[in-house]
Amino acid sequence: MAERSFAKEVESLRLGEGEEFHGEGILAVTKALLQSGVAYVGGYQGAPISHLMDVLADAEGILNELGVHFESSASEATAAAMLSASINYPLRGAVTWKSTVGTNVASDALANLASSGVKGGALIILGEDYGEGASIMQERTHAFAMKSQMWLLDPRPHLPTIVRAVEQAFELSEASNTPVMLMLRIRACHVYGHFKTRDNRRPSFSAADALAAPARDYSRIILPPSTYAQEREKIEIRLPAAQRFVAERGLNEIIDAEAGDIGIVMQGGLFNNTLRALELLDCADTFGTSRVPLYLLNVTYPLVPEEWVRFCSGKRAVLIVEEGQPEFIEQSANQILRQNDVGACIVGKAVLPMFGEYSVDALRLGVGRFIEQWAPQLRAGNAPARAAVSAVSAAKLAALVPPRPSGLCTGCPERPFFAAMKILQKEVGALHISADIGCHSFATLPPFNMGNSIMGYGLGAAGASAFGTDGGKRAVSIMGDGGFWHNGLTSGIGNAVFNKHDDLTVIIDNGYSAATGGQDIPSSRAPDPHRQGNNTIIDAVKGVGVKWVRRTHTYDMRGTLKLLREALKTPVRGPKVIVADGECQLNRQRRERPLMRKAIAGGERVVRERFGVDPDTCTGDHSCIRLSGCPSLTVKDNPDPLRSDPVVHVDNSCVGCGVCGEVADAAVLCPSFYRAELVYNPSAWDRLMARIRAAVIGTLQRRSERNRLRYAL
């Protein structure tokens, strides 16, 4: 159950010739794939293009009608290996994942694919997760494209341009026999717009056609001596072919303007921000008309020297807007212009940040400096470029708005497990904890503050392998069920068995690949007509040789603590695995809340649990918050005038998971938590019992108040 359904929106994928599509970038990419006659599609979910996989899954009926094979791949490497179908056959294929981490996982297959070359169009759609909204370390795809000689497209965030880029990426791939990467930033994935559609196309050549007449070409095998010939082919044949195609089809865009002696070159994906910066500098209007000539690189690799020479000739200075580092485009531009005796001064990182996302404000500052130096007449009579938010204003804002680090959701089943780990470390001392990618990585942040390293998706156990056999205090590693199936079973658990590690691995089984939006995985329990789920993690772990395997439910903190103590103290040698069950609360609420609302609207009796804190009992110690950190736990003023410490309060976001009370019980904190039942459409018996309870409680409260007044006097 993905976090968002596109069941209604995918109907727009049926639009035909001349009709108008309205929607967001992810749907437009899918429509472009269908218009291109794609034969197969695969990929691995992950921000910022996780919704592309969700769209494809919801559109599986349409894909089947067109004879398009679709599958949710086990990893990015699996998806990349799918593209081998295009090496020997004229099959158009596309795969997708988050870069750069996904590209790193797929690097072996991609390097081999780029070496052998392709016959059919091979397209890799990458979610470029770079900048302030990123969830990963900061790297770019550009270096990988250059290293493996794959062409890289970075279309401007404009639906017709994105659709054209997808369609022409297949043609570019076939014209140059090279796989093509198409990069989409977060905003491009979700930008809204419209474009004229074309009819969807069935694949002109299918997998069945390939199987009916298998083809083999030894020159495409990545073994010597073929590999030496493939490298030569990359440079002598494929690269010139790609440059010709880019130039002849006009994939890049040159926009002339009045200030002809300067210019700006930019990655296509940065067009909107750059144009907005120019508008704020009074050098462009709201409709996209710039006073400065622009060269949009919708293809950032390979560069086309002839286009650079044409754009830069006669100009005194050219600014290159290239996000991130190293400045590959700037270096190449200097080389191209010097080799062709073009005297334009190349300006780039001298006025723009060397690192970080190129926001509108960062671009306004950098572009403003460039214009003030090389074309001050464009700024005549205008105030100098400055930051949109001054340092003083930013400081005032920071004082009013508290920081909001990432954290586990309300009711998350992983919260009680990490609370148990925190209690355990008070007993046994600090532990080396090898963390992993996923929701559980938030345990490295307050209030848990645990985890010594994060090495990659499913690599939690592998990250602790150096500590596996020293005979001292046992190391602990964490991984989620998504990471387990992605990589952890072999690189972590299998490796621990083979090398006789004596450590503990905890696999948090929340039922989904939750951090990427709740997609199903092999151990998901929900029935799926297209996938085989319900494959148990315990069976897989035992299958690779683990002898000591236990299961616990994350909400059972006392049981979890007991198992953790046993795992760390048992004399049994060898890898130990605890599978901690607890369904992702977001997915559970997505499933149950609509059913609850429907039942309530239908007049059925529905009981919903809520938890609260008795303010008269709460001591104001706040240990529950420090051990749990649930977003529904907050504080409010103490009702007792004799006490100044604020008391704990449970707000209306509570989902009734019971973790707060479980934490209080396991940590032996206080009895201030209570459980209440909210009854919708109560029966006559419910109403009678409510009146009786109210009468009894009212009597006791009045007696308590009388006693309080008597003692006060």
Least confident interval from 40-54, 289-303, 423-437: 40-54
Return the pLDDT at 672: 81
- The two tokens of residue 508 are 């948090």
Chain center to CA of 216: 38
Q: 3-class SS at 119?
A: coil
pLDDT at 2 over 70: no
* pTM given for the model: 0.87
Contact of 60 with 136, CB cutoff 8 Å: no
Rounded to an integer, what distance in angstroms lies between the CA atom of residue 375 and that of residue 319? 12
Which tens digits make up the pLDDT trace of 125-175? 999 888 776 777 788 899 999 999 999 999 999 999 999 999 999 999 999
Q: pLDDT tier at 187 (50, 70, 90 boundaries)?
A: confident
Average pLDDT, the chain: 89
4 contacts: CB under 8 Å, gap ≥ 6:
51, 54, 517
CA distances from 129 to 47, 50, 99, 371, 389 (A): 7, 11, 6, 30, 25
For residues 200-220, average pLDDT: 91
> How many whole angstroms separate alpha carbon 409 and alpha carbon 631?
7
Q: Are 80 and 118 in contact (CB under 8 A)?
A: no
pLDDT digits (tens, 9 = 90+) for 221-261: 998 999 999 999 999 999 999 999 999 999 999 999 988 89
Q: Both tokens of residue 629?
A: 């950190």
- 425-460 burial, b at 16+ Cβ within 10 Å, e below that, comes to eeeeeebbbbbbbbbbbbbbeebbebbbebebbbbb
Whether residue 111 has pLDDT greater than 60: yes
In this prediction, residue 520 has a pLDDT band, given cuts at 50, 70 and 90, of: confident
Confidence of residue 524 (pLDDT cuts 50, 70, 90): confident
Domains for the chain: give ranges and CATH numbers: 17-200+214-249 (3.40.50.970), 253-397 (3.40.50.920), 414-587 (3.40.50.970), 605-681 (3.30.70)
Query: 264 and 295 in contact (C-beta within 8 Å)?
Result: yes
Question: Percentage of the chain surpassing pLDDT 70?
Answer: 94
Task: Judge whether 25 and 51 are in contact, CB under 8 Å.
Answer: no
674 pLDDT tier (thresholds 50, 70, 90): confident
5 class by beta-carbon count within 10 Å (0-12 exposed, 13-18 middle, 19+ buried) = middle
**Using 50, 70 and 90 to split pLDDT, how confident is the model at 391?**
low
- At 635, the pLDDT band (50, 70, 90 cuts) reads confident
* Mean pLDDT confidence for 61-76: 93
Q: Which residue has the tokens 């006789």?
A: 500
pLDDT at 667: 57
Q: What's residue 406's pLDDT?
A: 76
pLDDT of residue 664: 63
Band the pLDDT of 402: cuts 50, 70, 90: low
Q: What is the pLDDT of residue 687?
A: 93
- Confidence band for 3, pLDDT divided at 50, 70 and 90: low
Which one, of 192, 86, 179, lies nearest residue 126 by Cα? 179
Q: What is the pLDDT of residue 7?
A: 84
Q: Which of 53-62, 333-342, 498-507, 510-519 has the lowest mean pLDDT?
A: 510-519
